[in-house]
């Protein structure tokens, strides 16, 4: 089922790009690559690794492993309106509705044999405890070898060297399963490509800061998180270049849509994954999400002479890997850099990691006089969605911002 | 009075606290304070962390000279964040706890425990002393031996009141001193008790169940608690295998990672072994049934309950799963189900 979905998606988008080859098509190129990744994941000839969100995908890509964090599949199921069936399946097997629905949806898919069998599994202790627990469950269910990357929540010297050592160990673990060790050349190439993409990402985010911002509510949705899957590849660089070109094009050719920017918003953590017209609601209210919290380059360029340590530093710089003080400082900086008027915090039901800092974020931002809209919502499970209530809250929030 | 160090997780090595001249003070989630934690963090967090934070927000704590937090799960790390926010002048150390038991994890945790020890000695203005640490580990290990003896007695036959007494020993080690707990344990073992019949022999497991009165209640409801597998129970007194290593911190790290089988730690060579461990404990104690008691919103357990249920069913071991908060009040609501379960098990 998922293979056909990704196959159709690829064909459809490719057709549309081919029809107008002169256009930039940034978002289409991005979705095309996601569709291709999806297809490869469901292709039995590939070396498949199911991973935690913080796995070093640049290294895995360099090692020829088709890899993906499982929450991506949860999000895909939600975006194609097929999550409900799998959520129910998992719940019938005893998985509590108090858990994160990204994980519950994938668990349902595993129980229904709708997931491709991985060759091995790499769990990561960040962003969340729940994510690592489900990876262990999958390793047990598929009887596959399981590797854990423990990501300390600080960047002390010892923590970085522990993480760097584990990343190196991980490459040996992968090589044992694929038969292809990671060569110096491959690391060098992956690092070069990651650095190129990172630089372009930084350019993209800088362009998004402009007032009015050339982005729209959909343009950079979950971009930083999903792009991490493609880092270390030529495709990531091409996609980033297309995004940069499109933003420059928009700045040079502004549309009324772009200039209609009454309020600039920051979105914390992930977006809502199922079909839900929140972007349209925001458009109608003249509000624009100019930045997602995780759309940022928080790391220094990777050092080809010190690959594991620099990847470790990059990993531990991601906002959901750090303590709340540093995370909130990062949000505050984004508020300043992007001239933000208000913050939307979707408190995803079941997420102890992100939702758990709801009150601390609100408290700190109150001191900055920045209003925060805490949406109590499940970003994957739409079964209890109170659409009307959200609409009312959005309106009230806009009024509050004046 | 000996100054106190607060902590909240069973991966906190109490011997290090005492070696630095402090007394341990596990902050139990036992409070009538108003529910404010949900506001500062979020309501969908486990009651363990929320109630501890409520105590902190309500100033319902003895004087403490510092806090040790363990980054054992998302909720715990949020507790450490909220503590910083609520009591910014407190001395706080957050120890990173690896989720796997690999050699590099043991080495890293050893460094973390050493950092904890050095901070504690410094907080108390004392010179760092490996001898003091060694002495306290020895004392702790003596306690671990006696605790195992009480556990063996509990699992052999039903002795009225023994499960509650056992819990009191554990609580004394957590919130008074190793020596107090040691004396209590000796006293329990020195008394000859007459075993009784008529109760259903059960293993209880989960995250937190620390009120001794709960164990008396369970007896009233016809349950003989033969195994108490909680992080506020037997898992708390982790014996330290110093024979393996001449480095105390490595010995601590290795023992805690291997011998404190909490749902948040994993052995990657046998994924999901928590289920097998529970079955094994239940079988070796020859219990008639297992009661799981876990806290709402606890991710490490939420994800594992289905596999534990399946593993027990495969062995035809009856299983009752209860979820709630960790208070006596919450136990009252479970009475009917527990009594019905004990009836099914028979005696
Ligand atoms: S939403 Fe939260 S619990 Fe769910 S996968 Fe993301 S970080 Fe983990
Ligand atoms: S009860 Fe569970 S969620 Fe709460 S602190 Fe313990 S392991 Fe974490």
Secondary structure (H, E, C), B260-275: CCCCCCECCCCCCHHH
**Contact (CB, 8 A) for B58 and B32:** no
CATH code of the domain covering residue B9: 3.40.50.11890
For residues A244 and A276, membership in a common domain is answered with yes
Nearest CA to ligand 2 atom 8: B73
A252-294 residue pLDDT tens: 999 988 888 999 999 999 999 999 999 999 999 999 999 999 9
Residue B301 Cα to ligand 2 middle (Å): 8
Q: How many residues does chain A have?
A: 402
Q: Are residues A175 and A222 in the same domain?
A: no
| Closest CA of chain B from A69, distance in Å | 17
**Substitution target from A352, A355, A377 for chain B, most B beta carbons within 10 A:** A352
**CATH code for the domain of A396:** 3.40.50.11900
> What is A374-388 written as a DSSP string?
EEEE-SS--TT--HH
pLDDT at A45 over 90: no
Per the CB < 8 A criterion, the answer to whether A299 and A231 are in contact is no
Residues B225 and B338 in one domain: yes
The residue assigned the tokens 């998302």 is B74
Mean pLDDT value across residues A5-31: 94
Same domain, A12 and A160: yes
Claim to verify: residue B103 and residue B192 sit in the same structural domain: no
Predicted pLDDT of residue B298? 95
In this structure, the answer to whether residues A333 and A293 fall within a common structural domain is: yes
Q: Which of B59, B65, B56, B60 is nearest to B5 (CA)?
A: B65
Mean pLDDT of A148-160: 96
For chain A, the domain total comes to 2
pLDDT tens digits, chain B, 347 residues: what are they? 899 999 999 999 999 999 999 999 999 999 888 999 999 999 999 999 999 999 999 998 879 999 999 999 999 999 999 999 999 999 999 999 999 999 999 999 999 999 999 999 999 999 999 999 999 999 999 999 999 999 999 999 999 999 999 999 999 999 999 999 999 999 999 999 999 998 999 999 999 999 999 999 999 999 999 999 999 998 999 899 988 667 999 999 999 999 877 899 999 999 999 999 999 999 999 999 999 999 999 999 999 999 999 999 999 999 999 998 877 777 888 999 999 999 999 87
pLDDT of the residue at B117? 98
Considering only CB atoms, A350 lies closest to which of B44, B73, B100, namely B44
| Same domain flag for B86 and B163 | no
pLDDT of res. B245? 66
A271 and A395 belong to one structural domain: yes
Comparing CB atoms, the residue among B74, B112, B302 nearest residue A98 is B302
Summarised one tens digit per residue, pLDDT across range A180-238 is: 999 999 999 999 999 999 999 999 999 999 999 999 999 999 999 999 999 999 999 99
Residue A402: its pLDDT value, please?
82
Q: Are residues A173 and A198 in the same domain?
A: no
Report the pocket of ligand 2 as residue ranges, CB < 6 Å: B 46, 48-49, 72-73, 75-76, 207, 264, 295, 298-300
Q: Judge if the beta carbon of residue A102 lies within 6 A of ligand 1.
A: yes
Q: How high is the pLDDT of residue A202?
A: 98
SS3 (DSSP) at A347: strand
Kindly state if the Cβ of A120 falls inside 6 Å of ligand 1. Answer: no
CB B292 within 8 A of CB B322: yes
Query: For residue B346, what pLDDT is reported?
Result: 86
Query: Under an 8 A CB cutoff, do B40 and A98 touch?
Result: no
Rounded distance between C-alpha atoms, residue A264 and residue A261, angstroms: 7
Judge residue B115's burial from the number of C-beta atoms within 10 Å of its C-beta, 0-12 exposed, 13-18 middle, 19 or more buried: middle
> Both B93 and B171 in a single domain?
no
Select from A104, A108, A162 the residue whose CB has the most chain B CBs within 10 Å, as the one to mutate to test that interface.
A162
Helices (H) and strands (E) in chain B, counts: 15, 8
- Co-location of B84 and B8 in the same domain: yes
Cα(B98) to ligand 1 centroid in Å equals: 19
The domain that holds A163 is classified in CATH as 3.40.50.11890
Q: Are residues B13 and B83 in the same domain?
A: yes
The C-alpha atoms of residue B105 and residue B295 are separated, in whole angstroms, by 27
**Last-in-domain residue among A158, A181, A204:** A181
> Domain residues for A111?
2-181
Number of structural domains (chain B) is 2
Residues A165 and A239 in one domain: no
Alpha-carbon distance A203 to A210, whole Å? 11
Cα(A62)–Cα(A287) distance, integer angstroms? 40
Which numbered ligand comes closest to the C-alpha of B45? 2
pLDDT, tens digit, for every residue of A351-372?
999 999 999 999 999 999 999 9
Q: Residue B141: inside a domain, yes or no?
A: no
Query: Are residue A191 and residue A165 in the same domain, yes or no?
Result: no
> What value of ipTM does the predicted structure carry?
0.95
Q: Which residue of chain B is at minimal alpha-carbon distance from A147?
A: B268
Q: How far apart are CA A325 and CA A342, in angstroms?
A: 19
Which of A153, A181, A209 is the endpoint of a domain?
A: A181
End residue of a domain, out of B130, B160, B184: B130
**Where does a domain end: A181, A210, A242?**
A181
For A66, list phi and psi in degrees, rounded to 5.
-85, 110
B50 touching A (Cβ < 8 Å): no
Q: Are B196 and B160 in contact (CB under 8 A)?
A: yes
Report residue A142's pLDDT band, with 50, 70 and 90 as the boundaries.
Answer: very high
């Amino acid at each position: 089922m998922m293979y056909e979905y990704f196959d159709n998606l690829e064909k459809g988008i490719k057709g549309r790009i081919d029809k107008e080859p002169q256009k930039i098509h940034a978002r289409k190129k991005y979705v095309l690559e996601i569709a291709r990744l999806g297809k490869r994941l469901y292709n039995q000839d590939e070396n498949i690794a199911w991973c935690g969100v913080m796995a070093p995908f640049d290294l895995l890509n360099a090692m020829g492993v088709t890899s993906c964090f499982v929450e991506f599949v949860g999000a895909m199921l939600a975006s194609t309106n097929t999550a409900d069936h799998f959520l129910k399946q998992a719940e019938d097997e005893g998985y509590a509705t108090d858990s994160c629905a990204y994980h519950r949806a994938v668990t349902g898919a595993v129980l229904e044999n709708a997931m491709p069998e991985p060759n091995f599994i790499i769990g990561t202790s960040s962003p969340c405890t729940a994510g690592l627990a489900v990876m262990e469950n999958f390793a047990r269910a598929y009887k596959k070898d399981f590797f854990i990357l423990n990501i300390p929540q600080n960047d002390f010297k010892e923590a970085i060297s522990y993480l760097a050592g584990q990343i190196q160990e991980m490459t040996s673990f992968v090589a044992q399963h694929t038969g292809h060790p990671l060569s110096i050349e491959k690391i060098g190439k992956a690092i070069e490509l990651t650095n190129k993409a990172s630089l372009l990402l930084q350019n993209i985010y800088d362009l998004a800061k402009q007032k009015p911002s050339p982005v729209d509510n959909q343009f950079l949705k979950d971009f930083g998180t999903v792009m991490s899957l493609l880092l270390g590849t030529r495709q990531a660089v091409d996609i980033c270049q297309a995004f940069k070109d499109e933003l420059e094009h928009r700045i040079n050719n502004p549309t009324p849509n772009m200039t209609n920017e009454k309020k600039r918003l920051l979105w914390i953590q992930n977006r809502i994954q199922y079909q839900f017209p929140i972007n349209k609601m925001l458009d109608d209210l003249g509000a624009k999400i100019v930045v997602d919290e995780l759309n940022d380059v928080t790391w220094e360029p990777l050092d080809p002479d010190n690959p594991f340590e620099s990847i470790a530093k990059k990993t531990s710089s991601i906002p959901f890997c750090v303590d709340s003080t540093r995370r909130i400082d990062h949000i505050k900086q984004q508020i300043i850099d992007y001239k933000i008027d208000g913050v939307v915090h979707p408190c995803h039901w079941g997420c102890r990691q992100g939702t758990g800092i709801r009150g601390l974020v609100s408290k700190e931002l109150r001191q900055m006089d920045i209003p925060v809209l805490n949406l109590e919502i499940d970003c994957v499970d739409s079964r209890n969605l109170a659409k009307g209530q959200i609409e009312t809250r959005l309106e009230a929030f806009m009024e509050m911002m004046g | 009075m000996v100054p106190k160090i607060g902590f909240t997780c069973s991966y906190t090595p109490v011997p290090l606290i005492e070696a630095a001249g402090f007394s341990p003070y596990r902050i139990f989630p036992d409070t009538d304070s108003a529910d404010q934690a949900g506001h500062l963090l979020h309501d969908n967090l486990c009651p363990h962390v929320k109630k501890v934070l409520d105590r902190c927000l309500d100033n319902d704590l003895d004087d403490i000279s510092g806090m040790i937090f363990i980054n054992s799960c998302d909720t715990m790390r949020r507790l450490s964040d909220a503590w910083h926010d609520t009591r910014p002048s407190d001395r706080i150390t957050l120890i990173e706890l690896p989720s796997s038991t690999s050699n590099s994890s043991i080495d890293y945790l050893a460094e973390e425990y050493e950092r904890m020890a050095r901070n504690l000695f410094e907080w108390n203005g004392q010179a760092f002393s490996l001898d003091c640490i060694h002495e306290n580990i020895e004392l702790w290990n003596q306690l671990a031996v006696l605790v195992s003896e009480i556990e063996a007695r509990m699992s052999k036959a039903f002795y009225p009141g023994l499960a509650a007494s056992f819990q009191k020993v554990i609580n004394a080690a957590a919130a008074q001193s190793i020596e107090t707990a040691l004396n209590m344990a000796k006293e329990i073992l020195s008394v000859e008790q007459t075993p009784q019949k008529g109760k259903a022999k059960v293993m209880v497991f989960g995250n937190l169940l620390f009120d001794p009165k709960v164990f008396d209640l369970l007896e009233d409801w016809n349950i003989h608690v033969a195994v108490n597998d909680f992080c506020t129970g037997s898992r708390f007194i982790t014996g330290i295998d110093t024979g393996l290593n001449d480095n105390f911190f490595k010995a601590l790290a290795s023992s805690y990672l291997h011998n404190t089988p909490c749902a948040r730690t994993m052995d990657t060579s046998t994924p999901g072994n928590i289920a097998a461990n529970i079955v094994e404990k239940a079988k070796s104690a020859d219990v008639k049934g297992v009661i799981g008691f876990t806290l709402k919103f606890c991710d490490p357990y939420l994800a594992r309950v289905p596999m534990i249920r399946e593993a027990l069913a495969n062995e035809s071991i009856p299983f009752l799963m209860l979820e709630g908060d960790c208070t006596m009040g919450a136990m009252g609501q479970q009475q009917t189900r527990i009594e019905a379960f004990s009836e099914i098990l028979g005696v």
